[in-house]
Amino acid sequence: MLRAVVFDVGETLIRDDRGWAAWADWLNVPRHTLSALVGAVVAQGRDNAEALRLVRPDIDIAAERAAMEAAGAGERLDEADLYPDVRPALAALRAAGLRTIIAGNQTAHVGQLLRELDLPVDEIATSGEWGVAKPDPRFFTRVLDLANSPPDKTVYVGDHPANDIRPAQAAGLRVAHLRRGPWGHLWSGTTEAAAADWQIDSLHDLVRFAAR
């Protein structure tokens, strides 16, 4: 029986539409153009930040993000950014006695914004707060510390084989691959995704197997 469920953030709990739209507007390119470039780098197995470098090769992403924040165009999250199954599934898992945690590759500011949404979880952490990001094994060491659960009793839920499935399994965790968002859908038929313990289409699927 599982004791803890840990969730990725982007395209697992929240839609990334708002963030990419903000970047497109900031870089003064059509939103569809940046969206298409994101799809292209994802299909090539590259980091999605490479889409920004295709628009502006010399971009300093951290500096631009700070400038966006200063201009009032920075990171924002509200209820509309959550996928519809997030609150009910998290609440059901917690009611079933599982420790529920959010830990993903996000800035410290997004960590703060997630806490302001008052989601039914026990802990929230981001790579920006930890100073280490997936797929670095140290990220999953931190995940297990936060989960306070043995690796084989802990499941990591995410959409990205390279950032979520492989490194979580290497750390001994169970893994659920979520077919959601561009990464989840594009890589769902691959051997990397097939290596996950579970393939799910909704967070509600977690509730069905978590107590087994």
What pLDDT score was predicted for residue 171? 97
What pLDDT score was predicted for residue 212? 62
Cα separation, 101 vs 73, in Å, equals 28
Q: Are 61 and 52 in contact (CB under 8 A)?
A: yes
What pLDDT score was predicted for residue 101? 98
Number of H helices, E strands in the chain: 12, 6
What pLDDT score was predicted for residue 194? 86
Cα separation, 173 vs 199, in Å, equals 15
Query: Containing H/E element for 177?
Result: strand 174-178
What pLDDT score was predicted for residue 58? 96
Q: Check whether the bond before 161 is cis (ω within 30° of 0).
A: no
Stretches where the chain sits below pLDDT 70 are 211-212
What pLDDT score was predicted for residue 151? 97
What pLDDT score was predicted for residue 107? 93
What pLDDT score was predicted for residue 90? 97
What pLDDT score was predicted for residue 38? 92
What pLDDT score was predicted for residue 211? 59
Q: Are 179 and 196 in contact (CB under 8 A)?
A: no
Provide the whole-model pTM.
0.93
Helices (H), 71-151: 86-95, 108-116, 127-130, 137-147
Model pLDDT for residues 177-188, shown as the tens digit of each residue: 999 988 888 888
